[in-house]
Amino acid sequence: MDVYHYICFHQGFLGGGTMLQESSVDSSGSRFAPLVVLELASDTKEEAIAWLLSRIRDWQQNGGAELLVEQLGPGIGVEEKENPNMFLVGASMQRLLCGAEDLGLFKECTDGSMRAFTFASKHNFKDFKGDGDGFLSMAECQYVIKHELDTLRAKEETNVPGYSHAKLYPGKSIIRRLLSKGILIQMFPLHENEELKRLSFSWYKKVKVSLQPLDDIRHYYGEGQALYFGFLEYFTFALVPMALIGVPYYLFDWEDYDKYVVFAVFNLIWCTVILELWKRRSASLAYYWGTLCRKKAFEEPRPGFHGVLGHNPVTGRAEPIYPTSKRHLRVYLVSLPFVLLCLYLSLYIMMIYFQMEGWALSIYDENPTFWTHILLFIPSIIYAVVIEAMNLIYRYAAEFLTEWENHRLESSYQNHLVLKVLVFNFFNCFASLFYIAFVMQDMELLRQSLATLLITSQILNQFMEAFLPYWLQRRRNKKMIRKIQKRRLYEEKELPLVEQVRLEADMSTYLGTFDDYLELFLLFGYVSLFSCVFPLAAVLVVLNNITEVYSDAFKMCRVFKRPFADPAANIGVWQLAFEAMSVIAVVTNCALIGMSPQVRSYFPESETQLILCTVAAEHVLLGFKFILTFLIQDVPKHIQDKLARLEFESLEALKKKKMLEASQLSKTVQ
């Protein structure tokens, strides 16, 4: 049995608001494992609660979600501050299986192929035993429940009972309206302590030389998370050859023309190859995780989306409509100028940094002591900190602006946000390096700045990302822990469910893989853009990635609430971002090689010829990169075959059905 004590509930749960005391076991009662927690505002009106619960519990035919829901009882040391309106949501196994079928979840069959789960053919699926207990992972069950809650729609209600300002119309998602009006504070899935302990042990606690347990991560956190960790691992291994080749360049100070060019060309091709091979690996992972060929459900508007009530042209449902032209105006007339202004500001601060740098250098030249030598490093460190701070502030501004642009879909919101943040972070982090490389043309300073920036930003990141939230979290929970220790005197083993839920409700919310990917993206930039002047970058990034795996794993397991699974089939827009970076890297590396004195010495008489050769080499490399992208297939052959086989079988089945019908028809005609 699970760590969660099964909670019983009344048979009469369909009737409406009958609530139970926690852990009371009714003799005739069925039991359910709580999967998801709904936290309503503590001052929510009773009638709204009763209405919501009845809608959640109602039969599907009546437009309900047909889920089990239960109020969380008070904690041990009942305090004033505790929110009484916490609800545990679960479902019967059959309901979960039907939900999985609705969602079109892909599971492995007994013959090893991946197929969309259907309740009728449940016994063809691997690991389906008895009534299906343990067939769906808890993350999948939670995803099913999230989907069912999200698609719980208003019927005839014009507003949430007791809240006349929380307007509803037929077809509006109830949960999204409650969220946007602040009545529903949060909805999150519960951790499984046993599972989590096992996962964290095999993931980061054990000193190991093995790979990450990707399948277990996927099992616990879902595909989006697992793909991120898979990418992190892949990226680290992919950089190892570059790191290995880079070390002798650094140690022996090889600066011959030939070796230099060979290293740079290897790097450029390697970057292209690893990005292409990642697509193949990602497709393999997604296939075996069942997300590669899953059909996406129709995307609902975001909770914050607003507009005049109209009709969606696709679903025909009532929905707010916001004209695209207005959104375009906001994007091009406000957001775009704002981003450009920020880029200008970033440029301005960069110039200040160079002035400080010059000033520190002049002080050191006047009076070269130990202290003034240290002063030399100060501007770089300050600049690195300022960059991080600017990135952080800009991030909030970007979120605000993207929210204000009023995108209908979450995916469109995410894309606009990623683009804004990406451009600024890229500019902010690399502008000074570009300036040093191409305006000052000081390779020694470039190498030094690159090292400073890389190391500072790594340390800052690791700190900001995992240890700061952890420390805040600990402080917040001190009280809870004290209370728990008191409890421990009586009962040694585990936290009771109530405490567990309240503990988790107070944990920080994990905001998705955005920041993690962004960090990898910038690291990739440090490695690829200037690889030929600082071959050690790959080594530093590999080292960073190894600690990153541990700190990310730690933060997922200990710092944050469990996130809902995200059935991603690939890393989405980040693939594009990394590819764009590798294109820019071709340009910068060619320019750097063209500027190196070794290459210049080959064209002593004419600079024009040097530049033309460099440009020609760049174009050839870009062309080669493009061809390589085409030649390497995105999906491995054996997966392509399996997908084709699935397609073929469904077509054949359809045909057979048709032929059967036709022959029956012809018989009746005869």
Stretch of residues binding a second copy (CB under 8 A), selected from 136-144, 160-168, 214-222, 310-318: 310-318
The answer to whether 381 and 448 are in contact (CB under 8 A) is no
Stretch of residues binding a second copy (CB under 8 A), selected from 171-179, 207-215, 512-520, 654-662: 654-662
Q: Could you identify the residue written with the tokens 């709904």? A: 38
Stretch of residues binding a second copy (CB under 8 A), selected from 454-462, 496-504, 554-562, 640-648: 640-648
Shortest distance, position 104 Cβ to a second copy, whole Å: 8
Q: Could you identify the residue written with the tokens 């061809």? A: 627
Specify the DSSP element, H or E, that contains 444. Answer: helix 443-462
Shortest distance, position 230 Cβ to a second copy, whole Å: 26
Q: Is 61 in the site for a second copy (CB under 8 A)?
A: yes
Phi and psi angles of residue 481, each rounded to the nearest 5 degrees, phi first: -65, -40
Q: Return d(Cα 34, Cα 608) in angstroms, integer.
A: 72
Shortest distance, position 486 Cβ to a second copy, whole Å: 46
Amino acid at site 471: W
Measured in whole angstroms, the distance separating CA 249 from the mean position of its chain's CA atoms is 36
Site string for a second copy, 584-603 (x = CB under 8 A): ---x----------------
Q: Write the DSSP symbol of residue 201.
A: I
Structure tokens at 184: 């529903």
Stretch of residues binding a second copy (CB under 8 A), selected from 13-21, 152-160, 184-192, 607-615: 607-615
Shortest distance, position 598 Cβ to a second copy, whole Å: 19
Q: Is 298 in the site for a second copy (CB under 8 A)?
A: yes
The residue (of 30 and 367) whose beta carbon lies closer to a second copy is 30
State the DSSP string of 359-382. Answer: HHHHHHHHS--HHHHHHHHHHHHH
The answer to whether 574 and 515 are in contact (CB under 8 A) is no
Residue among 23, 51, 350 nearest 183 (CA): 51
Q: Is 657 in the site for a second copy (CB under 8 A)?
A: no
Q: Is 651 in the site for a second copy (CB under 8 A)?
A: yes
The residue (of 377 and 626) whose beta carbon lies closer to a second copy is 626
Shortest distance, position 618 Cβ to a second copy, whole Å: 9
Q: Strand pairing partners for 561?
A: none
- Residues 100-129, interacting with a second copy (CB under 8 A): 101-102, 119-120
Structure tokens at 424: 């600024």
Site string for a second copy, 524-563 (x = CB under 8 A): ----------------------------------------
Stretch of residues binding a second copy (CB under 8 A), selected from 45-53, 159-167, 556-564, 604-612: 604-612
Q: Is 648 in the site for a second copy (CB under 8 A)?
A: yes
Indicate which single residue of 612, 620, 633, 653 sits in contact with a second copy (rule: CB under 8 A): 612
The residue (of 494 and 579) whose beta carbon lies closer to a second copy is 579
Residues 6+ apart with CB under 8 A from 25: 8
Evaluate the CA torsion angle 300, 288, 554, 139 in order and state its sign.
positive
Q: Return d(Cα 418, Cα 422) in angstroms, integer.
A: 6
The residue (of 209 and 314) whose beta carbon lies closer to a second copy is 314
The answer to whether 163 and 143 are in contact (CB under 8 A) is no
SS3 188: strand
Stretch of residues binding a second copy (CB under 8 A), selected from 129-137, 199-207, 390-398, 660-668: 660-668
The residue (of 127 and 661) whose beta carbon lies closer to a second copy is 661
Indicate which single residue of 313, 365, 370, 489 sits in contact with a second copy (rule: CB under 8 A): 313
Q: Could you identify the residue written with the tokens 């002798």? A: 248
Structure tokens at 74: 């008070």
Indicate which single residue of 6, 45, 60, 233 sits in contact with a second copy (rule: CB under 8 A): 60
The answer to whether 509 and 190 are in contact (CB under 8 A) is no
Q: Is 655 in the site for a second copy (CB under 8 A)?
A: yes
Angular region, 406: left φ>0, alpha ψ -120 to 50, beta rest: left
- Compute the chain's Rg from CA coordinates: 29
Shortest distance, position 135 Cβ to a second copy, whole Å: 17
Shortest distance, position 409 Cβ to a second copy, whole Å: 12
By rule CB under 8 A, what count of residues binds a second copy? 35
Amino acid at site 657: K
Indicate which single residue of 21, 27, 164, 608 sits in contact with a second copy (rule: CB under 8 A): 608
Q: Write the DSSP symbol of residue 11.
A: G
In our burial notation (b when 16+ CB lie closer than 10 A, e otherwise), range 219-245 reads bbbbbbbbbbbbbbbbbbebbeebbeb
The residue (of 117 and 221) whose beta carbon lies closer to a second copy is 117
Structure tokens at 223: 């595909």
Residue among 42, 34, 37, 64 nearest 51 (CA): 64
Shortest distance, position 217 Cβ to a second copy, whole Å: 30
The residue (of 235 and 574) whose beta carbon lies closer to a second copy is 574
Indicate which single residue of 355, 619, 620, 653 sits in contact with a second copy (rule: CB under 8 A): 619
Task: Classify burial at 82, counting beta carbons within 10 Å of its beta carbon; exposed 0-12, middle 13-18, buried 19 or more.
Answer: middle
State the DSSP string of 597-665. Answer: HHHHTTSSS-HHHHHHHHHHHHHHHHHHHHHHHHHS-SS-HHHHHHHHHHHHHHHHHHHHHHHHHHHHH
The residue (of 162 and 320) whose beta carbon lies closer to a second copy is 320
The residue (of 179 and 573) whose beta carbon lies closer to a second copy is 573
The answer to whether 586 and 268 are in contact (CB under 8 A) is yes
Q: Is 46 in the site for a second copy (CB under 8 A)?
A: no
Q: Is 663 in the site for a second copy (CB under 8 A)?
A: yes
Q: Is 98 in the site for a second copy (CB under 8 A)?
A: yes
The answer to whether 518 and 421 are in contact (CB under 8 A) is yes
- Residues 317-356, interacting with a second copy (CB under 8 A): 324
Q: Could you identify the residue written with the tokens 């014009």? A: 158
Shortest distance, position 57 Cβ to a second copy, whole Å: 15
Q: Is 315 in the site for a second copy (CB under 8 A)?
A: yes
Q: Write the DSSP symbol of residue 122.
A: G
Q: Is 311 in the site for a second copy (CB under 8 A)?
A: no
> Interface residues with a second copy (CB under 8 A)?
59-61, 98, 101-102, 119-120, 295, 297-298, 313-315, 324, 587, 607-608, 611-612, 615, 619, 637, 641, 644-645, 647-648, 651, 655, 658-659, 661-663
